[in-house]
Amino acid sequence: MQFPSPVSAQWLSEFINAKIEGNADAMATGINEIHRVQKGDIVFVDHPKYYDKCINSEATFIIINQSYKVPEGKTLLVCDEPFEAYQKITKHFRPFSPSMEMISTSASIHETAVIMPNVYIGNNVKIGEDAVIHPNVTIYDNVTIGKHVEIHSGTVIGGDAFYYNTKKNRDVWYKKMHTCGEVLIEDYVEIGANCTIDRGVSAVTKIGQGTKIDNLVQIGHDVIVGKNCLFASQVGIAGGCTIGDGVTMWGQVGISKTLNIGDNVMVMGKSGVATDLKAGNTYFGSPAIDFTAKRREYVMLKRLPEIWEAVRKIQSTDGGR
């Protein structure tokens, strides 16, 4: 999330009750999570395991729960509860303020767009030329929809990220990180019925131009999908993945979180992807591997009874020696 205007280290330190270490004159332009952080952004970290990753990221500000060596030009904000500080900042700049109208007066909808009955459109939503939104669609706040986009019934765009702060020594283990990100649906995208596309935790979930999505597909928070992708029904893409251009996923494919899928990859139906995939190749299986390798694996599997017989025969022959 970008702030409406830059915020001083001083204001921040007072707002979250933190001690400044490093550059006390820096200005923060936004706040973000570690996978999508940019220069000028704030991140937070509360586990020593991730200190170095956060401090050496593009982030300019790091909210952290102890003193630490500060690289040149960076600012540490040291406080007891970095997670709570993150929540306070994001809720301050982008509070959950539910619009109780079916179509928020703050939404901006092109006059040629077709909004069918019973569509809910939240705050600060933009809908472009010739877009068609079918009945019973829900669009949460801060979603931008391009030109010639079609969204089918029952689909939910911009829901909260499934992203929690976890501590197993308290009564309620999971505390949700306040979602303050956005969704961007580019031109000529089509989205089927009863899909769910979550908005970024603090960055943006993006569906690239010309991508076509079938029914019941899940796109997690902060996923970046390239142009001209084709996702068949019941595909699920976990949070933080980056999908290239021209990627095809057949029905019921699942992609684990924060993976990179190269351009023009094809993933066969029902595959479960647990690793990055190289551009231009075809994959199958759970866990998914190269399609040709997977086929060879099946051939071998079919030979197993023969192998078993051969081994038993050799053993009995040997035994007779």
Secondary structure element (H or E) that encloses residue 13, with its range: helix 9-15
Q: Closest approach of Cβ 11 to a copy of itself, in Å?
A: 30
Q: Closest approach of Cβ 204 to a copy of itself, in Å?
A: 18
Instruction: For the segment 140-199, give every residue that binds a copy of itself (CB under 8 A).
Output: 140, 150, 152-156, 159-160, 162, 164, 168, 171-174, 176, 188, 190, 192-196, 198
Rg (CA), the chain: 24
- DSSP structure string for 288-307: EEEHHHHHHHHHHHHHHHHH
Q: Which amino acid is at 288?
A: A
Q: Residue 55: which residues within 8 A CB-CB, separation 6 or more? A: 45, 62, 64, 68, 70, 71, 74, 76
Question: Rounded CA gap, 65 and 167, in Å?
Answer: 15
Q: Which amino acid is at 175?
A: K
Tell me which residues are annotated as active site. Answer: 221
Nearer of residues 5 and 97 to a copy of itself, judged by Cβ: 97
Nearer of residues 48 and 98 to a copy of itself, judged by Cβ: 98
Among 270, 281, 290, 291, binds a copy of itself (CB under 8 A): 270
Instruction: For the segment 58-87, give every residue that binds a copy of itself (CB under 8 A).
Output: none
Question: Rounded CA gap, 147 and 163, in Å?
Answer: 30
Instruction: For the segment 128-147, give every residue that binds a copy of itself (CB under 8 A).
Output: 132, 134-136, 138, 140
Nearer of residues 65 and 234 to a copy of itself, judged by Cβ: 234
Site map 91..130 versus a copy of itself, x via CB under 8 A: -----x-x-xxx-----------x-xxx-x----------
Question: Rounded CA gap, 110 and 215, in Å?
Answer: 25
Nearer of residues 41 and 214 to a copy of itself, judged by Cβ: 214
Instruction: For the segment 271-310, give every residue that binds a copy of itself (CB under 8 A).
Output: 272, 274, 286, 296-297, 300-301, 303-305, 307-308, 310
The closest of 209, 206, 212 to 191, measured between CA atoms, is: 212
